[in-house]
Amino acid sequence: MSGWLILAVAVFTEIIWALSLKLVQVSPNRWLMVGSVLLSFLNMGLLSWAMRDIPAGTAYAIWTGLGAVGVTIGGIIWFGDPMNATRLACLSLIVVGVMGLKLAS
């Protein structure tokens, strides 16, 4: 399997994991906590696997950058986090940076 595809799954898992942390705070539940811990292990394993084919710095920057964008958007949609032009502009800069890293790899 391609390192880039694995990294994409790792980013998705990162987003779900981080949003699950917020969900545990909003609605404490033992099973949500267990799920969050399991997602954490899966998340790290996928990132590590992706780094077999992708330079570590590139993989980590894309993982954290797209993860931050996804969590921010998820927080806006599901948890009512604030949305304003400055936040959206900053998210756009992250996406541009991630695209640049992908093109440079």
- pLDDT confidence bin for 102, thresholds 50/70/90: confident
The rounded percent of the chain whose pLDDT value lies above 90 is: 90
Domain hosting residue 83, numbered range: 3-104
Angle, helix 56-79 to helix 3-26, in steps of 10 degrees: 40
User: Mind listing the pLDDT tens digit for each residue in 27-64?
Assistant: 999 999 999 999 999 999 999 999 999 999 999 999 99
- Per-residue pLDDT at 101: 82
Sign of CA dihedral 39, 12, 104, 85: negative
Taking the C-alpha atoms of residue 99 and residue 104, their distance in angstroms, rounded to an integer, is 9
- Per-residue pLDDT at 52: 96
Q: Is the pLDDT of residue 8 over 90?
A: yes
Q: Rounded to two decimals, what is the model's pTM? A: 0.89
How many domains are there within the chain? Answer: 1
State mean pLDDT over 52-81.
94
